[in-house]
Chain A
């Protein structure tokens, strides 16, 4: 039996998850800015609304809905928005600090530098020509952090909690973006699978929001079709931002942790992961579209939430009463 402190697992998981979130927000906004300039006022506003729905919440954000400047403030620096980039990186750093002796010193330095860079960024400078480079740099720095993590860390339980954090976050983000975009763009399209000029930009935006456009084109050429997008972002087992890919990684990490800890309840956790994985393994895009993409995605998100909860109940925030019983 191999054990690590639950608190350490908790911090590693959230460190990873918050960084992934910061990365996602930065990329989404960066892509948004390249697309929104070519869109009509109305389509642009709807686009902002969709971004707000996935990245902040369902509430009204009138200013941010009407202006990219305000949107960028809200997404990047707003201290009151728990999911602003600044807050995500600060939270990731705080979690990293809690486990500093467990992680590599380069990892700490990297995350600390990111935090300082974002905190010291001034809004006016950002909007005088540094917009793209700023968000792009965040992506680069997160990649660097993940690179150090993958290159330098022993593949023990800790590393697997990092993986679970990263891919649970990623899978839910991808599922969420697919859901929100399809709900609006797909039902609005006249010919359901034909892409009109109006929505073409948004479909491409969806792909690029997951750095997927080039990879997609290699499979489907530049023929942007909603069904193919679903097939790619949801079901492709090889593309790192697809839901299927993420679930596979989660599943193998859950298995590793289950075997290491020999916890009686581990089976419950990886059975849940396994079920989700099997569901994606055998899914057909046409069937999904016919029976309703929205409910399918919702189901995936619910299962991701359940995996999170089960991981917590089993390894991290468990009731000591349960564990005492199982020790007897």
Chain B
């Protein structure tokens, strides 16, 4: 470990516990001085008295509560409302940095969409052995039913939330592609609404690129993918219902777009046409922004016990009468084992090198790489490919010999199911915590919309590990979020 340094630009008490080490710091350069894009915020923080900051924090709390940006804790049987943890200080991204991210994401999502189209049609990339056939066919998200099916406008991934992290050298890298049902956009928007009320002055000083059009952009994207002309398109958001943990987001986004929030039981399929049951009779539906997993969309084709979807939907989809966003079967391309091939996929379809690097990844399915992984378990992070949210993971440096032995057995039994990556240092950003400004690890999830063309929202959800020392940014495990400011040039 490199020696911890202090912030040199100020003696302010609130920065006393701010730690700088080998992890990239979003606010301070290695010499302890603020980076240019943070200078204004830094000076503003020094002007504000501790009580003023506290007052703004409280005002933000209230604002979240009143907006209803809450989640319901059903486990305590009382239906208590809690606000989502968030942090007061914005994460600031300079215009030039953002341009790289934007180009990188457009490149990546274009290639992944081509990949999906290919593997569900001719499978050229498999025949050319760029991606091993069994990696695709053995993925639990590969949907054989999608073979030969032409999705409307050729777009498989209409909405993506790609998880980026910043490496120690300051470059952004892709940690994970979320091509199925990425969530969190509502928190991005809610954060922004609150922050504009809390720091109105800073906004005008900075020139922050706006996000408010997200609802409209999403709606336009979905309308552009409709099988019918966009004026006569009916779009709905299909939710699993009130007991789903992301239900708040479903209601929020439906409201932002001004479209009905439906459940499977609101829909019916007859003669390959999807209808919604309304008090004024059946109304034809053209686009479904579905927030339920593939498995639950159509009990006739997928899980027969699913009550969340609608029987016959897939045949309507096959016949081209309805757009599903995202398409069925996109999960195969965000499989952790496929992830390692993404740079090759980009090169294969676009003839370009990946603008945003991957984290180095070892495939336990490949004998040489498996050997390396088994020899270096103590220094690597091992992940099961089918899992998400931090399950089925071995963090080498924090593991016991016993845990490593367990994983060794697991990997040997089912190598395809495991990948390994070196331990990575997420960058840190300043957070306001109990009167102090401290550095906490962050990642970034920008949202990519793919309708007529690919557009990227300038910003995203910055997730932050609010617990000191923690690397886990998931909200279920003490993670929070903060507003992300992308600056105009």
A262 touches B263 (CB 8 A): no
Q: How far is the CA of A204 from the CA of B255 in the complex (A)?
A: 51
Beta-carbon contact of B270 and A6 below 8 Å: no
A306-328 to B contact mask, C-beta < 8 Å, 1/0 = 00000000011010100110110
Q: B260, A327: Cβ atoms under 8 Å?
A: no
Cβ contact of B279, chosen from A98, A105, A116, A315, cutoff 8 A: A315
B68 nearest CB neighbor, chain A only: A105
B261 near A262: Cβ-Cβ < 8 Å? no
Known interface pairs A100-B242, A101-B251; A5-B282 also in contact (CB < 8 Å): no
**In whole angstroms, how far apart are the Cα atoms of A116 and B241 in the complex?**
23
The residue that A320 contacts in the complex, of B241, B255, B277, B280, with Cβ under 8 A, is: B277
Determine which of A105, A116, A157, A320 lies in contact with B270 in the assembled complex, contact meaning CB atoms within 8 Å. A320
B261 — which chain A residues lie within 8 A by C-beta?
Answer: 101
- The CA-CA distance from A4 to B280 in the complex, in Å, is 7
Q: How far is the CA of A324 from the CA of B272 in the complex (A)?
A: 13
- Closest B residue, CB atoms, query A161: B279
Is the contact region of chain B dominated by helix, strand, or loop, or is it mixed? mixed
Contacts A98-B242, A101-B261; A7 near B279 (Cβ below 8 A): no
**Interface contact B265-A7, CB-CB below 8 Å:** yes
Q: Which of B265, B270, B278 contacts A3 (CB 8 A)?
A: B278
**What's the minimum C-beta distance from B74 to chain A, rounded to whole angstroms?**
10
Within 8 A of B (CB), among A1-59: 1-7, 9
Task: Specify the chain A residue showing the minimal Cβ separation from B283.
Answer: A3
Given known pairs A98-B242, A101-B251, A101-B255, the reply for A3 and B280 (CB within 8 Å) is yes
What is the number of residues of chain B that contact chain A, defined by CB distance less than 8 Å? 25
Whether, in the assembled complex, A112 has its beta carbon less than 8 Å from a beta carbon of chain B, the answer is yes
Does A260 contact B280, Cβ atoms closer than 8 Å?
A: yes
Q: Interface residue tally of chain A, by bracket?
A: 20 to 34
A165 to chain B minimum Cβ distance, whole angstroms, is: 14
A9 with B79: CB separation less than 8 A = no
Q: Does A97 sit within 8 A of B, measured CB to CB?
A: yes
Residue positions of B touching A, CB distance < 8 A: 68, 78-79, 241-242, 251, 254-255, 260-263, 265-266, 268, 270, 275-283
Can you give 21 A-B contacts (C-beta < 8 A)? A4-B278, A5-B277, A6-B277, A6-B279, A9-B279, A97-B242, A100-B242, A101-B251, A101-B254, A105-B68, A257-B279, A261-B280, A261-B281, A263-B280, A315-B279, A318-B281, A320-B268, A320-B277, A323-B281, A323-B282, A324-B282
Top-8 shortest CB links A-B: A3-B278, A261-B280, A101-B251, A3-B280, A315-B279, A6-B277, A323-B282, A323-B281
Contacts beyond the supplied A263-B280, A320-B277: 16 A-B pairs with Cβ under 8 Å: A2-B280, A3-B279, A3-B280, A3-B283, A5-B260, A7-B265, A97-B242, A98-B241, A100-B251, A101-B251, A157-B279, A261-B279, A261-B281, A318-B281, A320-B275, A327-B282
